[in-house]
Amino acid sequence: MARPRAAGYDDQREQILARAAELFAHRGYTAATMAEIAEACGVSKATLYHYVRDKHDLLAQITGGHVARLEALIDEVGARGLAPEPHLRALVDAFLAAYASAANEHRVLTEDVKFLAPDEHAAVTAAERRVVRAFADALATLRPELRAAALETPVAMLLFGMINWTFTWLKPGGTLSHAALAPLVSDLFLGGLVSARLPQPPQPPSPRAGPPA
Amino acid sequence: MARPRAAGYDDQREQILARAAELFAHRGYTAATMAEIAEACGVSKATLYHYVRDKHDLLAQITGGHVARLEALIDEVGARGLAPEPHLRALVDAFLAAYASAANEHRVLTEDVKFLAPDEHAAVTAAERRVVRAFADALATLRPELRAAALETPVAMLLFGMINWTFTWLKPGGTLSHAALAPLVSDLFLGGLVSARLPQPPQPPSPRAGPPA
DNA sequence: CCTACCGATCGGTAGG
DNA sequence: CCTACCGATCGGTAGG
């Protein structure tokens, strides 16, 4: 039987992933170097390669871990058994909080997915689609005509736009917190959702797969 | 007096900027090589360097040109002298159309600004701030309490989120066009804007400069 | 003397 | 876990 990893191995690994995410987020995946990452972690380059196979593996771990946490969030909120409106509000709340606590990972997910290998890229996209579907379902429950107009996914993507774009302007430590923003986002979107005029369904029965988050 | 540039010089230059924007958007600024860009333009690398000083100049031209066009759009829409609601709808329309016709430049502006030199970065950010301010003013005209609550810029950023995020999911040639989406975005946002509950002003009189687009 | 290019190769640095 | 390196490829420029 193989000897177990040293205690603290996983902690060290998590630390490395977090530091790497920070560097990828600020300098970009390609521009960030393995030497920089090692230095930021306070280890040698050789030690860094003890925790990750290569630079590409680092990116896959960061993006994969982040989307997995987002999917878990969907399940957690779903398990609360809330009514439609509180349910959507809870989703908005949970995602704004998640992005606030994982801003670097979120930026890497958004900007550096293109550097993943095709199969890893497909896996991340599939997870993103499941997240979008959960939001789209919540929206269609609140406004059933959305589904008839085949607009529940586009409208979900508009909501994701509000939430996801915050990483470009909402800085932690500012006067406006993610927690304070959440009810405003929900109010804005729910208010518009019930009053918006919807176009006629484009083609009678042709639901299409939604784009990624 | 200096001899004028050859006819077609500016055309060729514009072509090169467009091709470079496409490669930067798809492969990232750092990963895209000058050799690739030259090849995509059907010229030698030496010829490419005849039109741009270096790779960095290429990025500065692409981002600078794009924000300049966005600022021009603000002026064009403003010159129409529309009432508050049609004015905001026209802005949404114009920006969605601009992003549809310059998706590559928009992606580069969003993801690769970090590679600009400090002074170029500051100039782009200043232009983005002016654009955000135009949207924030339009929103505050429609809902004056926004300004009292010092929320006109955050709310403008939420609207920008809806609009800007489309570049991640709305593909040209799909069943849903940018033009069809524009009224839906305006309906959603205007509907939510009039009904949203606003928190009390945080500090009586302290307007802050807005973050970039 | 200018511009608009080409084939070839430079010094430096990346991931591993 | 470090120093010392490798194969390759980068952005940028020489002469003509």
Please name the helix (run of DSSP H) or strand (run of DSSP E) that holds residue B52, with its range, or none: none
Mean pLDDT along residues A197-203: 66
Amino acid letter, B90: A
Looking at the complex, does the CB of residue B114 fall below 8 Å from at least one CB of chain A? yes
pLDDT of the residue at B207: 44
Share of chain A above pLDDT 90, in %: 67
Looking at the complex, does the CB of residue A149 fall below 8 Å from at least one CB of chain B? no
Contact by Cβ (8 Å): B132, B213: yes
Whether residue A166 and residue B157 make contact (CB cut-off 8 A), yes or no, is yes
Over its C-alpha atoms, chain A yields an Rg (Å, rounded) of: 20
pLDDT band at A79 (very low <50, low <70, confident <90, very high): very high
pLDDT band at B10 (very low <50, low <70, confident <90, very high): confident
pLDDT of the residue at A110: 93
Distance A193 CA to C9 C1' (A): 62
Looking at the complex, does the CB of residue A201 fall below 8 Å from at least one CB of chain B? no
CA-wise closest residue to A155 among A182, A174, A133, A176: A133
pLDDT of the residue at B79: 98
Tell me, what DSSP letter sits at residue B65? H
Q: Is the pLDDT of residue B134 over 80?
A: yes
**Cα–Cα distance between B188 and A100 in angstroms, integer?**
25
The nt closest to A55 (CA vs C1′) is C15
Looking at the complex, does the CB of residue B179 fall below 8 Å from at least one CB of chain A? no
A 10 A CB-CB count for A184 gives: 22
Whether residue A198 and residue B184 make contact (CB cut-off 8 A), yes or no, is yes
Report how far apart the first and last C-alpha atoms of chain A are (Å, whole number): 42
Whether residue B111 and residue A114 make contact (CB cut-off 8 A), yes or no, is no
Mean pLDDT along residues B140-151: 95
Please report, for residues A58, A64, A65, A159, B4, the alpha-carbon distance to residue A124 in angstroms, rounded to integers and kept in the order given. Answer: 14, 6, 10, 20, 52
pLDDT band at A212 (very low <50, low <70, confident <90, very high): very low
pLDDT band at B11 (very low <50, low <70, confident <90, very high): confident
Looking at the complex, does the CB of residue B64 fall below 8 Å from at least one CB of chain A? no
Mean pLDDT along residues A25-42: 90
Please name the helix (run of DSSP H) or strand (run of DSSP E) that holds residue B167, with its range, or none: helix B152-169
**Cα–Cα distance between B20 and B32 in angstroms, integer?**
9
**Cα–Cα distance between B8 and A55 in angstroms, integer?**
44
Closest-CA distance of chain B to residue A17, Å: 21
Angle formed at CA A126 by CA A116 and CA A163, multiple of 5 degrees: 90
The DSSP line for B85-139 is: HHHHHHHHHHHHHHHHHTHHHHHHHHHHGGGS-HHHHHHHHHHHHHHHHHHHHHH
pLDDT band at A196 (very low <50, low <70, confident <90, very high): confident
pLDDT of the residue at B7: 55
Angle formed at CA A84 by CA A126 and CA B191, multiple of 5 degrees: 95
**Cα–Cα distance between B186 and B181 in angstroms, integer?**
9
Pull the structure tokens for residue A205: 């029965």
Mean pLDDT along residues B18-22: 93
Distance A42 CA to D11 C1' (A): 30
Q: Is the pLDDT of residue B73 over 50?
A: yes
Whether residue B168 and residue A212 make contact (CB cut-off 8 A), yes or no, is yes
- CB-hemisphere CA count at 13 Å for A9? 8
Mean pLDDT along residues A156-163: 98
Q: What is the largest distance, in Å, between two alpha-carbon atoms of chain A?
A: 65
pLDDT of the residue at B5: 54
Nearest CA in chain B to A200: B180
Which of the residue ranges A135-139, B79-83, B201-205 would you say has the lowest mean pLDDT? Answer: B201-205
Please name the helix (run of DSSP H) or strand (run of DSSP E) that holds residue B142, with its range, or none: helix B118-142
Please list, in sequence order, all residues whose beta carbon lies within 8 angstroms of the beta carbon of residue B121, skipping any fewer than 6 positions away.
B113, B114
Q: Is the pLDDT of residue B108 over 90?
A: yes
B157 vs A204, higher pLDDT: B157
Whether residue A28 and residue B30 make contact (CB cut-off 8 A), yes or no, is yes
Scan for tokens 């302290």, then name that residue. Answer: B206
**Cα–Cα distance between A93 and A187 in angstroms, integer?**
12
Nearest CA in chain A to B129: A169
Q: Is the CB of B3 under 7 A from strand C?
A: yes
**Cα–Cα distance between A192 and B143 in angstroms, integer?**
14
Please list, in sequence order, all residues whose beta carbon lies within 8 angstroms of the beta carbon of residue B100, skipping any fewer than 6 positions away.
B170, B172, B177, B178
Which of the residue ranges A18-32, A38-52, A163-177, B172-186 would you say has the lowest mean pLDDT? Answer: A38-52
A4-27 residue pLDDT tens: 455 466 777 888 899 899 999 999
Exposure pattern of A190-203 as b/e (b: 16+ CB <10 Å)?
bbbbeebeeeeeee
This prediction's pTM: 0.89
Please list, in sequence order, all residues whose beta carbon lies within 8 angstroms of the beta carbon of residue A53, skipping any fewer than 6 positions away.
none
Average pLDDT value over all residues in chain B: 89
pLDDT of the residue at B205: 45
Please list, in sequence order, all residues whose beta carbon lies within 8 angstroms of the beta carbon of residue A61, skipping any fewer than 6 positions away.
A17, A52
Scan for tokens 């600004």, then name that residue. Answer: B113
B132 vs B43, higher pLDDT: B132
Q: Is the pLDDT of residue B212 over 70?
A: no
